[in-house]
A and B are shown apart, each in its own frame.
Chain A
Amino acid sequence: MSQGLYACVHAAEFPSQALLRLRPDLQSLPVAVLEGRAPLEQVCSMNRNARQLGAATGMTRLEAEALAGQSGGLRLLPRSLEGEAAARAVLLECAASFSPRIEDGSKDAAGDARKAAGTGTAWALVLDIAGTERLFGPPRALAERLRNALKAAGFRASIAVSANFHTARMLAASSRGITVIPSGEQALALASLPVALLAIPDSHAETLALWGIRTLGELAALPEVDLIARLGQEASTWRKLAMGAHTHAFQPIEAAFSLREFCEFETPVEQMDSLLFVGARMIDSLALRAATHAMSLASVTVDLELEGKRAHRLVLRPALPSVDRKFLLKLLQLEIAAKPPPAAVLALALSAEAGQSSKVQLGLFAPQTPEPSRLDVTIARLKAIAGEDRVGSPLLEDTHRAGSFRMANFAAENPPDEEQEGPPRMALRRLRPPLAVRVALNAGQPALFYDGRQSYKVSTSFGPWRSSGCWWSIDGWDSDEWDVLAESEGAPVACVLVMDRGKHQWRLEAFYD
């Protein structure tokens, strides 16, 4: 049986990393993350700049604000659990592209979430990388590629590779950068690490401290039988862990493929540019994640959380699934311009549906049609000019009501060629809304009508053609129609006059043209 090989990815200060991942403008500033209910909030995580300023875990909001007042640059952000969940999914997906077997490494040997000092807000994943040498090269090369992939996704993580699961986990938590432990040298690598990494209960930790045992190397040097006699059976596990010899039954987790990004703003955002700045990073991340699965983004749903507990939803549906960042960002910009949020934005969430990659098979003899992605942007721009429901393809409705139609989304397709025959048909130009007119009758036929601007003398009228329907509903109609040949100021016109029998109103509905 071949020996196992594990790589542990340890993302320290995960709450602050999850918040800053989508906010490159804040990454160079000192940032501390607060959690808890006001006014008892405490600092739970911070970036390196904030630590250098003097910020520490457990500081109250008041202390942090005092520090911010002194230093003048410390930014305090509220913790976002939803944002962390989205960031976890991204990190997990990123790791899944290197190995399908991944376990959550944030738990100790007993399976409980670790409470050890300095690791409480970290998140760790352990990858089973045995047998990946032919794909990614030696363990160090894999670790470097993994670290670069994480960096591209916006994470800073330390990576440790070892033949022992727990050794990789503990080394990743206590070191920076990449550490690769050769097989059989686990005990040596762990020897200098503090005993606190083992999450030993406080009572036993005190005992070990009294004995002067501070490092794992010192713990591993103690005789096993005497240790068990004094501290119980658990001490055997701690000693094996300290020696890098504790075995582990790997419990892989499933990396669910969900394309979702979330970002919560510390202050309400009114400027669309700021929103798009963050949105661009989120679209980047979604497109990258979809691309790693050889997929594209078929639709992107933008959920905006607004002030006053209101929500605003926008949906981007490109004609073809796409991972083109600029194109999707342009669609987002036009969509927000067409449907601006009615209030300032508190949080932004993007969730996408993956679709097959956007490849179109063109025909050598197929007629030229607009490029789908360019057409999407053009239609979005047209909608911004003319209105959301005023651009598209008209679809006739299954009714006898004259002039009824609905607008459908336009999609350039190439249907089979059809032979177009027959004479041209008289076309109408409709007046929307119909123009109310006053009509003078002669023997029941229109003889003269006036539309408010000019009067028309009717030379010939044909009708009435009675039409009615939907009498059982509120939009029923019952009308008499006349085809009218008339003349106004010497100019002949042919038009359609309608008399609404229910309201006894005359309307000029259309002109023949």
Chain B
Amino acid sequence: MSARSANALRLEIEHALERSFPAALTPAQRTIRETASTGIAKVDALLEGGLPVGAISEINGPASSGRTTLVLSFLAQRTASGQVCAWVDADDAFDPESAAANGVNLRQLLWVRCRKAGGPTQSKQAAKPWTRLDQALRATDLLLQAGGFAAIVLDLGDTAAEYTRRIPLATWFRFRQAADRARTSLVVVAQAGAAQASPVQSSNAQSSAALALHCAVVSPVIAGGTVLRGFHYEVRNQRQRFTPFAVGRNKPPVSVWPAASAWDTTGNFANAETSATGEVLVMEQSA
């Protein structure tokens, strides 16, 4: 019997099993998705490059968990490269000063401030005014359809989770398709359940989200006991559609990153814990 190469043997086995298991011994090709940097090295390392382009990323967490800072840092990178972004603000909570402090080029940012009772109320068909959430969803839809935006942030950060959970899955599916077509990063900032919940339970967009992150605060950084100098935040990667977690890993990967106050220009904030004047207070985590 003549010696056969491993490759020929593999082809023979695959051919035999073709009906039951197509390409049984050939490793599946991994799709490399385009990502955009968040501007925070530790978060980029966690996400293997940054937030996905042309997909939905969901950033969940309670108030004061660093969600907005993370998204502003991401937008700063996008606007710095000359691209335009949009911020759909369901609760009118966006702070332009914070955005400018983070380096966001405000001229490159379209800000849509939803109002308490909006919509075409003069129309007889729409006698009932639209809620903030309705306005935000419609505005996001329009912006995605218009195309050309590198990133669109749907900010539902102050909207109660029981309302955001009611957004139909068909809406998220449509957003996913439109974001994919327009090559737009749709970033959804929302409140969400506990970090320990399953990825599907803690996500609003569920299977439409390519990435689901959960944010939490770790500790504030205090200078001299009198001034709030910054925070350390934690990001937990709960779900990443295109780079699944390693089999057998129980806990999702976590990264801790710092955010400094706007006036702090010393540049050594990342090492604040070990500085002579720094003092770290640990805030209690929610259950």
Q: Using CB atoms and an 8 Å cutoff, list the residues of chain A in contact with chain B.
A: 337, 340, 366-371, 374-375, 378-379, 381-382, 384-387, 390-396, 402-403, 405, 407-408, 410-420, 422-432, 459-460, 462, 483, 485, 487, 490-495, 510-513
Contacts and interface: CB of A to CB of B under 8 A. Distances in A.
Given A366-B82, A370-B149, A371-B147, A337 B231 contact: no
B162 interface: no
A493 B39 contact: no
A455 B229 CA distance: 25
A386 B283 CA distance: 38
B84 A412 contact: yes
B49 interface: no
Given A370-B149, A385-B135, A396-B106, A426 B118 contact: no
B68 A374 contact: no
B109 interface: yes
B81 A367 contact: yes
B217 interface: yes
Contact of B158 (A375, A429, A485, A491): A429
Nearest to B281: A460
B115 A378 contact: no
B120 A384 contact: yes
Nearest to A365: B82
Given A417-B81, A424-B39, A430 B269 contact: no
A422 B68 contact: no
Interface of B: 39-40, 62-70, 72-73, 76-77, 80-84, 92-103, 105-115, 118-120, 122-123, 130, 135, 138-139, 142-143, 145-150, 157-158, 183, 217, 220, 222, 226-228, 230-231, 257-262, 267, 269-270, 281, 283-287
23 contacts: A370-B146, A370-B149, A371-B147, A375-B146, A378-B142, A386-B118, A393-B110, A396-B96, A415-B105, A422-B267, A423-B258, A424-B69, A424-B102, A425-B98, A425-B262, A428-B97, A430-B92, A430-B93, A460-B220, A485-B228, A487-B284, A490-B286, A511-B64
B262 to A, nearest CB: 5
B119 A385 contact: yes
Q: Which 8 A-B pairs have the closest CB atoms?
A: A370-B148, A394-B96, A427-B98, A513-B68, A420-B80, A378-B146, A390-B113, A424-B73
A510 B183 contact: no
B284 A427 contact: no
Nearest to A371: B148
B259 A423 contact: yes
Nearest to B146: A378
A429 B260 contact: no
A435 to B, nearest CB: 11
A432 B93 contact: yes
Given A403-B97, A459-B283, 14 more contacts: A393-B106, A393-B109, A410-B110, A415-B108, A418-B105, A424-B69, A425-B69, A426-B231, A427-B68, A428-B97, A460-B220, A492-B286, A493-B63, A513-B67
A31 B232 CA distance: 79
Contacts of A391: 110-113
A367 B226 CA distance: 45
Contacts of B118: 385-387
B111 A393 contact: yes
A249 to B, nearest CB: 59
Given A390-B112, A424-B40, A494-B64, A337 B122 contact: yes
Contact of A385 (B92, B138, B267, B286): B138
B84 A494 contact: no
Nearest to A431: B93
A424 B233 CA distance: 11
B102 A425 contact: yes
Contacts of B285: 492
Nearest to A408: B107
A494 B107 CA distance: 29
Nearest to A494: B64
Contacts of A428: 68, 95, 97-98
A426 B260 contact: yes
B114 A386 contact: yes
A485 to B, nearest CB: 6
A491 B195 CA distance: 13
A394 B262 CA distance: 18
Contacts of A410: 110
A513 B63 contact: yes
A340 B122 contact: yes
A411 B148 CA distance: 12
Contacts of A510: 95
Contacts of B259: 423-427
Contacts of B68: 427-429, 513
Nearest to A405: B96
B97 A396 contact: yes
Nearest to B96: A394
B262 A491 contact: no
A410 B107 CA distance: 7
Contacts of A408: 107
A34 to B, nearest CB: 35
Contacts of B100: 396
A394 B109 contact: yes
B64 A393 contact: no
B150 A368 contact: yes
A418 B105 CA distance: 10
Contacts of B70: 424
A412 B96 contact: no
Nearest to B216: A492
Contact of A420 (B103, B267, B286): B103
B139 A386 contact: yes
A413 B107 contact: yes
A327 to B, nearest CB: 13
Contacts of B158: 429
B260 A424 contact: yes
A422 B108 CA distance: 20
